[in-house]
């Protein structure tokens, strides 16, 4: 086999092996541009002279506070419901595990507006369960703050489940078996062994879950509506601004930039908590 050609100046290999990265650089640069340039456009078109006024207006602060509160509540619900689901997925094998995983990850492939419609058909006043809740208890969930949280849980839960399940599969069951062999009960094993071992994956999943809930729009708009102070989150406030309601377009751009900064911060935190990260 012929030895690879080397550059006369540097002595490094030349030929097809060297040209491949250059060929990949063009589509890579275009892909990066499609992600970065829209954000740059937001920065360039922001009205910096009124930025602080825009992001501190009553409507903007209300939307920001509601977004943070509902995203935190949705993340808490996802942790309570998602950890048992992840444990079940990690322990199951065969077709049952595949079917359950497909059901859990379904919100990732569904358009969010379909999720909102599904929630409305389930919990609306004429829904499968909503009609009974309204008739028996006088409880109506749609177009309330609780509806915002439920919509966020629907779209964000898969992020926590998949992240935690991946950590559980990586850790395995050997430490659990050792603890059980030493006489520890199931709850003790879960609390003292399993959860501490998967904590990085769980925290990373929770952070991504929070980020997804913070940016949720479609399911919230259909199931919860867009009522300022009640269901109008930051994404809905941005949308309302460009339809001539609630806030000015300058405030919409300002809120969008706040969401961008929050998203970048959340992703950096998630990367810092990534399981197995050493640097």
Is 157 within a domain? yes
Is 131 within a domain? no
> What DSSP line would sit under 212-277, residue for residue?
HHHT--HHHHHHT---TTTT--HHHHHHHHTTTSSS-HHHHHHHHHHHHHHHHHHHHHHHHT-TT-
CATH number of the CATH domain containing 255 = 1.10.3720.10
Q: What's this model's pTM, rounded to 2 decimal places?
A: 0.82
- Residue 246, pLDDT > 70, answer no
Which of the 8 DSSP states describes residue 16? Answer: H
Is 16 within a domain? no
Q: Which parts of 50-95 are beta strand (E)?
A: none
Is 118 within a domain? no
- Tokens encoding 236: 């809905």
Is 25 within a domain? no
Residue pLDDT, tens place only, 3-14: 555 555 555 555
Domains of the chain: total: 1
Task: Report d(CA 165, CA 176) in Å as an integer.
Answer: 15
- Domain ranges, residue 173: 51-108+146-272
Q: Which residues pair with 13 in a beta bridge?
A: 6
Residue of 14 and 143 predicted with greater confidence: 143
Is 96 within a domain? yes
Is 9 within a domain? no
Is 192 within a domain? yes
Task: Report d(CA 87, CA 166) in Å as an integer.
Answer: 10
- Residue 132, pLDDT > 60, answer yes
Task: Report d(CA 65, CA 233) in Å as an integer.
Answer: 8
pLDDT of residue 85: 93
């Amino acid at each position: 086999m012929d030895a690879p050609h080397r550059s006369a100046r540097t002595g490094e290999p030349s030929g097809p092996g060297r040209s491949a990265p250059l060929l990949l650089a063009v589509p890579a640069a275009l892909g990066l541009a499609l992600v970065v340039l829209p954000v740059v456009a937001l920065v360039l078109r922001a009205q910096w002279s009124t930025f602080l006024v825009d992001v501190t207006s009553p409507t903007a602060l209300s939307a920001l506070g509601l977004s943070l509160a509902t995203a935190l509540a949705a993340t808490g619900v996802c942790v309570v419901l998602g950890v048992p689901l992840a444990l079940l997925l990690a322990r199951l094998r065969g077709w049952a595990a595949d079917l359950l995983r497909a059901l859990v990850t379904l919100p990732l492939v569904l358009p969010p507006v379909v999720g909102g419609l599904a929630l409305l058909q389930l919990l609306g006043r004429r829904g499968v369960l909503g009609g009974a809740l309204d008739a028996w208890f006088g409880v109506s969930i749609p177009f309330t703050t609780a509806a915002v949280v439920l919509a966020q849980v629907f779209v964000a839960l898969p992020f926590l489940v998949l992240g935690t399940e991946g950590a559980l599969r990586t850790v395995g069951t050997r430490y659990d078996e050792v603890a059980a062999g030493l006489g520890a009960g199931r709850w003790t094993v879960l609390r003292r062994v399993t959860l501490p071992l998967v904590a990085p994956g769980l925290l990373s999943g929770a952070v991504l879950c929070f980020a997804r809930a913070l940016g949720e729009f479609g399911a919230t708009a259909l199931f919860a509506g867009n009522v300022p102070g009640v269901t109008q989150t930051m994404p809905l406030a941005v949308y309302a601004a460009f339809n001539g309601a609630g806030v000015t377009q300058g405030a919409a751009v300002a809120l969008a930039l706040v969401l961008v900064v929050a998203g970048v911060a959340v992703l950096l935190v998630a990367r810092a908590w990534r399981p197995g990260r050493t640097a």
